[in-house]
Amino acid sequence: MSLGGKLVSELPVNASAEKCYKIFKDNCKHMPNITPKFIQQVDVHDGDWDTHGHGSIKIWNYFADGKPEVLKEQVEFDDVNRKVTLIGLEGSAFKYYKKFIPIYQFVPKGDDPNHCLAILTIEYEKLNHSSPYPYKYIEIMNGMTKDMESHLK
């Protein structure tokens, strides 16, 4: 049995795909204000806030199941598909996973520019069979997306 997999959640969002994507690309440093019950702090480890650089490294401090956790990631932006890939480098999730990659994609919904579909994905590989599936992390992604939607209204 494989230890790798993909967990996917889809949420309708009452905001444009472009606005949702731009929060991650241009305003990620404001995430603790947008979604404080999940994200406490985001710091740039390598790169800077102004260039929004593909490949910059950030450190996220967040809560999972009421406990503080941390994720150091390298970001990849796909402007055409409005997709943000956070390649996990180290942090709390690596107690259970060899590979941990959260992905946010915002897809326009038909002709309505004020609605989109958020496709939230975690690509993972468990360290062993007793490692849990990353359900708590996809729930964080869902909660963050709902908070972003409220922020953009």
- The DSSP H or E segment spanning 17 is helix 17-26
- Average pLDDT for 13-18: 95
Phi, psi (degrees; rounded to nearest 5) at 21: -60, -40
- Average pLDDT for 38-58: 79
Compute the distance between CA of residue 42 and CA of residue 49 in angstroms, rounded to an integer: 11
Q: Where in the chain are the domains?
A: 4-152
Phi, psi (degrees; rounded to nearest 5) at 136: -65, -30
Structural contact between residues 138 and 25, judged by C-beta atoms closer than 8 angstroms: no
CA atoms within 13 A on the CB side of 26: 7
Structural contact between residues 73 and 57, judged by C-beta atoms closer than 8 angstroms: yes
pLDDT for residue 24: 87
pLDDT for residue 130: 95
Superfamily (CATH H level) for 4-152: START domain (3.30.530.20)
pLDDT for residue 153: 81
Rounded to the nearest integer, the mean pLDDT of the chain is 93
* pLDDT exceeds cutoff 70 at 49: no
Read off the pLDDT band of 112 (50, 70, 90). Answer: confident
What is the percentage of the chain residues whose pLDDT exceeds 90? 81
CA angle 116, 118, 122 (to 5 degrees): 165
- How many whole angstroms from its chain centre is CA 128? 24
* pLDDT exceeds cutoff 70 at 58: yes
- What is the value of pTM for the model shown? 0.93
* pLDDT exceeds cutoff 70 at 111: yes
Which of 32-41, 77-86, 106-115 is predicted with the least confidence, judged by mean pLDDT?
Answer: 106-115
Compute the distance between CA of residue 80 and CA of residue 17 in angstroms, rounded to an integer: 11
pLDDT for residue 1: 62
Read off the pLDDT band of 113 (50, 70, 90). Answer: confident
- Average pLDDT for 12-36: 93
CA atoms within 13 A on the CB side of 28: 24
